[in-house]
Structure 1
Amino acid sequence: MIANSGCRACRDGEPLDFAFTMAFQPILAARAGRVWGYEALVRGPEGQSAASILDRVTDATRYRFDQAARVRAIELAGRLFPPDSDARLSINFMPNAVYEPAACIRASLEAARRVGFAHHRIMFEFTENERFRDIAHVERIVREYRRQGFITALDDFGAGYAGLSLLANFRPDLIKIDMDLIRGIDADAGRGTIVSGLVAIAGALGVSVLAEGVETRAEFDALRALGIDLFQGYHFAKPLLEGLPHVAGFTDAERSAAA
């Protein structure tokens, strides 16, 4: 009954009783010295925090909000990304709001077609911080999304409920190491050892690694020395509401290539 109710709400296009939009933060490929993609982050229409919006999402509106957020992110990306760009779009989604993976992805595919955004450039992030009600169901979601050609990522890796077991079960294309493991890593041998081990495990599984929440050049340098190539954080750019922010934090040559 819940699944039918959720899918019916999506088809009927029932409006949410609150407005929201997206801010974009770059994901950088260090070796190439360029923007690899942008993460779409939920914000209020005037830049209010994601928490202020998510607090308004109830069990009854979770499915509709998840669908609407995906479509909004794709539509903005179609408008903002340069026509000749191959940058990816990263979208957070709520696995507990997905009733039937193949059916629930239709609105995203339709939005991508409508704005001419190749769907293989879309990455869906699911967070380790959300307790999954049905692990087997989440596995089906990840499997279906990969079959459709989307990129999949496990966000906040190292900070949530299940840790390595999620990586073993889901085998996403990418993991985003949580910022709590990143913070001060240049001066913390313990954090360096942990992240080095995660990089080695991910490499053995064929999974890419992204360091999120990088705030200093010293953290950036330490993480690069551990073999990480993808980065995100305030050291490079803060999210920009309905826009693509200027990138800093690289060398002059890297900044030029990433602009």
Structure 2
Amino acid sequence: MLDNDTTDDFADQMVQCRNCGVPPMIHGSRFLLRPPGGHSMAKVHQALKLAGCVARSGRRHQELVVEVDDHHRLADALVESLHMNELADTMIMPAKDDGPDLDQLWSVMRLSDYTANVRGAWLVDLVESGRLTAFMQPIVDATLRPVGHECLVRGHDTDGNLIPAGRMFEAASSPRLAAYFDRAARLTAVARSKRLPTDQTCFINFQPSVLYDPENCLRTTVAALKEYGIDPGRVVFEVVETDHVSDMAHLRRIVDYYRNAGFRVALDDFGSGYNNLSQFVGLRPDFIKIDKALVLSLNSHPIARRLVEFLVATAQDNGIKIIAEGVEDAQTFDTLKAIGVDFYQGFYFARPAPDPVTSVTLQ
């Protein structure tokens, strides 16, 4: 039985499911449900009845064989069921006759992941149909010279309308779907970075929580950069949601892997978690990006300014460059320059766009 390790191997298996008309690792119409010990089968029956599914006992005690006509209807019913939280750890697997299909044991998953994958099927279709793209937003120095761009993932719906990154990452709520989408986003950013001038740096986001084994999970990203002939020294990988990182040893393995491969590293969204600043500085990142919320309150809350001053001073003492995100007006830009921030990013300079820029016009 597979666990929730999220590697590129899982993502490869998910891609193979693109012609099934159903989410990754969801096949056929007959499934076996196995609730964890101590859970009432009556609660499972109630959820299935709500979805209009036919269920019968399996070969073993505490197993149900379920006939599914509409995966989306079942997923919606499970989410709406009052018992979903209690049923989340129920295992679902393809069935053959009245027992598990041994040829498809790789697709065993928790019921909560099943519902997330079904409801996120539109995201898989978006990726597989080539509707995932990346926009680029410049990062400038104090003279307004673009020194690099951050690649920001976007999607298009079937009518060509833009889908924001937040909606897509929210849809990728199961571990395997999150790994699949994070990998697709990284590879899309790599492909877009080919457009950058050779004197500019490309900033690419990744989520450390979906990378179980850095070497295995990131090898396709590194291989794509080599294929496009992009010098590793021009690439900075951004650790998103820095303030939510709890496993510092895991994060250090990722940072060390990238650094040993010749890339640079940035800690993104840095702000409210500054109590752990010493731990993050100990990772020796090349850049720290100050969280947008902190930048926006810079001129209205004195404590925000003092915090930014402290971050900048600490970074300078450790040879780390500071990037301020969310710069939207001249006053904020002037304040950040006075504090000594190294680089700047925000709508004041340019909004994300499909192509990079070589100069900026203040907004």
The interval holding the TM-score normalised by the smaller chain is 0.7 to 0.9
> Which residue identity lines up with residue 135 of structure 1 in the other structure?
M
1:229 Cα deviation from its structure 2 partner: 2.0
Are residues 132 and 187 of structure 1, via their aligned partners in 2, closer, same or farther at CA, if it must alter by over 3 Å? closer
The equivalent of 1:243 in structure 2 is 355
Are residues 130 and 198 of structure 1, via their aligned partners in 2, closer, same or farther at CA, if it must alter by over 3 Å? closer
Q: Does 1:17 align with 2:99?
A: no
1:172 Cα deviation from its structure 2 partner: 1.2
> Which residue identity lines up with residue 154 of structure 1 in the other structure?
L
1:190 to 303, 307, 325: 303
- Root-mean-square deviation over aligned CA pairs: 2.3
What TM-score, normalized by structure 1, do the two folds share? 0.85
Q: Does 1:150 align with 2:263?
A: yes
Query: Contact 1:89/1:122 (CA < 8 Å) preserved in 2?
Result: yes
1:26 to 129, 138, 143: 138
SS in structure 2 at match of 1:219: helix
1:5 Cα deviation from its structure 2 partner: 6.0
Cα distance in 1, alignment partners of residues 245 and 207 from structure 2: 9
The equivalent of 1:87 in structure 2 is 200
Cα distance in 2, alignment partners of residues 11 and 190 from structure 1: 47
1:205 Cα deviation from its structure 2 partner: 1.4
1:75 to 191, 194, 197: 191
1:134 Cα deviation from its structure 2 partner: 2.8
Are residues 160 and 47 of structure 1, via their aligned partners in 2, closer, same or farther at CA, if it must alter by over 3 Å? farther
The equivalent of 1:173 in structure 2 is 286
The equivalent of 1:42 in structure 2 is 153
Q: Does 1:52 align with 2:179?
A: no
1:161 Cα deviation from its structure 2 partner: 8.2
Give the percent of matched residue pairs that are identical in Structure 1 and Structure 2. Answer: 36
Q: Does 1:207 align with 2:320?
A: yes
Cα distance in 1, alignment partners of residues 203 and 341 from structure 2: 18
Cα distance in 1, alignment partners of residues 225 and 309 from structure 2: 37
Cα distance in 2, alignment partners of residues 183 and 4 from structure 1: 37
Cα distance in 2, alignment partners of residues 59 and 143 from structure 1: 23
Aligned residues: 245
Query: Contact 1:3/1:99 (CA < 8 Å) preserved in 2?
Result: no
Cα distance in 2, alignment partners of residues 4 and 125 from structure 1: 22
Q: Which moved more, 1:48-57 or 1:128-137?
A: 128-137
Query: Contact 1:96/1:133 (CA < 8 Å) preserved in 2?
Result: no
Q: Deviations over 1:1-37 (max 9, x none)?
A: 5476634224457153333221111011224x41111
The equivalent of 1:112 in structure 2 is 225
Query: Contact 1:157/1:163 (CA < 8 Å) preserved in 2?
Result: no
1:53 Cα deviation from its structure 2 partner: 1.0
Cα distance in 1, alignment partners of residues 227 and 352 from structure 2: 25
Cα distance in 1, alignment partners of residues 222 and 340 from structure 2: 34
Kindly name which structure, 1 or 2, has the bigger radius of gyration based on alpha carbons. Answer: 2
SS in structure 2 at match of 1:170: coil
Cα distance in 1, alignment partners of residues 215 and 332 from structure 2: 40
